[in-house]
Amino acid sequence: MHVLGIYGRGAHEDTLEQVVDRAVDVLSQAGRVGVIRYDATIADGTAIHEAGTVGGDVTYELGADGDWTATGTGLSVQGALDQLALDCDYALVIGVSDLRYPSVVIGTDSTETADAGGPVLAAIDGAIDLTDDLIDDLEATEPYHTLESLVARVKRSPQAARSGAIATFTGRVRAKDSDDDARTEYLEFEKYDGVADERMKTIETELEARAGVLEVELAHRTGVIKDGEDIVFVVVLAGHREEAFRAVEDGINRLKDEVPLFKKEVTVDDEFWVHDRP
Residues 42 and 135 in one domain: yes
Residues 151 and 135 in one domain: no
Given a cut of 50, whether residue 253 has pLDDT beyond it is: yes
The string of pLDDT tens digits covering residues 174-230 is 998 888 888 999 999 999 878 999 999 999 999 999 999 999 999 999 999 999 999
Residues 245 and 185 in one domain: yes
The string of pLDDT tens digits covering residues 70-96 is 665 566 778 888 888 998 899 998 888
Last residue of a domain, one of 139, 165, 198: 139
Answer yes or no: pTM beyond 0.95.
Answer: no
- Mean pLDDT for 258-275 is 89
Given a cut of 50, whether residue 37 has pLDDT beyond it is: yes
Strand bridging mode 261-267 / 184-191: antiparallel
Residues 178 and 207 in one domain: yes
Given pLDDT bands bounded at 50, 70 and 90, which one contains residue 43? very low
Residue 176 is part of which domain span? 147-276
Looking at the structure of the chain, the number of domains it has is 2
pLDDT in the model for residue 65: 55
Identify the CA nearest to 274 among candidates 195, 178, 188. Answer: 188
Last residue of a domain, one of 81, 108, 139: 139
Most confidently predicted of 70-74, 102-106, 241-245: 241-245
pLDDT in the model for residue 8: 79
Residues 157 and 122 in one domain: no
| CA separation for the pair 53, 78 (Å, rounded) | 8
How far does CA 18 lie from the centroid of its chain? 25
Give Cα separations from 149 to 18, 101, 155 (angstroms): 30, 18, 10
Residues 163 and 224 in one domain: yes
Residues 6 and 132 in one domain: yes
Mean pLDDT of the chain, nearest integer: 83
CATH code (residue 61): 3.40.50
Given a cut of 70, whether residue 149 has pLDDT beyond it is: yes
Given a cut of 60, whether residue 243 has pLDDT beyond it is: yes
Q: What is the DSSP string of 56-94?
A: S-EEEEE-TTS-EEEEESS--HHHHHHHHTTT-SEEEEE
Residues 115 and 47 in one domain: yes
Residues 17 and 86 in one domain: yes
Last residue of a domain, one of 99, 118, 139: 139
